[in-house]
């Protein structure tokens, strides 16, 4: 294993690039958004290939019009908050509105658009640990409280572990997530992929993609409790952008999804302790990418939970610590 770092000037400022290389895997991280930029893993024949969407240059990732949160850490709140506002302890907080009438992924300058501090890089026991930190001030995009956040990547051969932590000096809401864009074939479409999501239920939505309820997936195109070919699902639904309620005990790491590509044999397993997972099939991707070129599997708290407490907890108070872990495991199948 080798770890290489360098600095790239961008319009957002100087970005630290960290590259971890194994004989059978390569991962590139950016301090901009504490993000995954590139991942190369082998197919069933041992040929390394890129499986994550990336823009041509690091500098391109700082151009907001080009970068749809590629591989980045989302915050202060992943997914949508209805009406760009929420109430907490009797106080209403108007937020930055950047998605129709809603706030998406923390606002137009969410944490994915900011340069995080690189706290340390260590290399031991066959793994590289990279620690990023960010201080989000009180009033950042309208959110209350000064939040100290940390994203930690532990990268080993065939595995990426992502740990998120945060504390606050005043009551606030928080949901951190990673917005990776996976294509295990390195192709222009995920139609040839298969997806397994072992969840019985998903959210329903209004026209602005705000949750309106919870339904069983049984008998619907959204049922992927058995590994399912994506081509007919994309045709039946027009594309996925749906949050699944993951079975099992929240706070315990369990399987969230398995994405596979039969042609190359590549398999990605996502394990998490988060309560939900947004499954997004790249419906709104624009040039230089293609619509439905990727699959995002965003482990997170429920969208709009700040306005809908029945969807689960999302409040962080002084003296508490928010933490969540997601694991990405890359393997190959012989058939």
Positions annotated as catalytic residues are: 179, 298
List of E strands, 125-200: 127-136, 147-156, 159-168, 172-173, 177-179, 194-196
Strand partners, 92: 87
> Helix, strand or coil for residue 121?
strand
> Helix, strand or coil for residue 99?
strand
Distance CA 334, CA 57 (A): 34
Is residue 38 within 8 A of residue 175, CB to CB? The reply is: no
Is residue 151 within 8 A of residue 73, CB to CB? The reply is: yes
Give percent helix, percent strand, percent coil of the chain, each to the nearest 5: 5, 50, 45
| Dihedral over Cα of 189, 194, 195, 200: its sign | positive
Phi, psi of 236 (to 5 degrees): -75, -35
| Alpha helix ranges (H) inside the chain | 230-237
> Helix, strand or coil for residue 309?
helix
Is residue 2 within 8 A of residue 12, CB to CB? The reply is: no
Q: Is the peptide bond before 170 cis (omega within 30 degrees of 0)?
A: no
Distance CA 37, CA 53 (A): 7
């Amino acid at each position: 294993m080798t770890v290489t770092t360098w600095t790239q000037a961008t319009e957002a400022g100087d970005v630290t690039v960290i590259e971890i290389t194994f004989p059978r895997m390569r991962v590139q991280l950016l301090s901009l958004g504490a993000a995954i930029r590139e991942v190369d893993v082998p197919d069933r024949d041992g040929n390394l290939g890129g499986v994550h969407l990336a823009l041509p240059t690091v500098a391109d990732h700082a151009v907001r019009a080009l970068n749809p949160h590629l591989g980045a850490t989302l915050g202060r709140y992943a997914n949508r908050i209805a009406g760009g506002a929420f109430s907490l302890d009797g106080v209403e907080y108007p937020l930055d509105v950047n998605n129709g009438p809603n706030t998406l992924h923390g606002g137009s300058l969410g944490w994915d658009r900011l340069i995080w501090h690189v706290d340390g890089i260590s290399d031991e026991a066959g793994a590289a640990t990279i620690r990023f930190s960010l201080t989000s001030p009180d009033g950042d995009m309208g959110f209350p409280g000064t939040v100290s956040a940390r994203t930690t990547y532990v990268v080993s051969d065939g595995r990426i572990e992502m740990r998120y932590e945060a504390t606050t000096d005043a009551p606030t809401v928080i949901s951190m997530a990673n917005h990776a864009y996976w294509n295990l074939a390195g192709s222009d479409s995920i139609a040839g992929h298969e997806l397994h999501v072992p969840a019985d239920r998903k959210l329903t939505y209004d026209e602005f993609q705000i949750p309106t309820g919870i339904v069983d997936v049984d008998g619907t195109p959204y049922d992927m409790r058995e590994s399912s070919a994506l081509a007919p699902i994309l045709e039946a639904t027009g594309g996925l952008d749906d949050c699944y309620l993951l079975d099992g005990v929240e706070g315990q790491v369990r399987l969230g999804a398995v994405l596979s590509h039969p042609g190359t044999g590549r398999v990605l397993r996502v394990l998490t302790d988060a309560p939900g997972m947004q499954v997004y099939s790249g419906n709104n991707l624009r040039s230089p990418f293609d619509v439905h070129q990727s699959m995002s599997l965003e482990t997170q708290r429920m969208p709009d939970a700040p306005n809908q407490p029945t969807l689960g907890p999302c409040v962080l108070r002084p003296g508490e610590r928010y933490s969540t872990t997601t694991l990405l495991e890359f393997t190959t199948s012989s058939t």
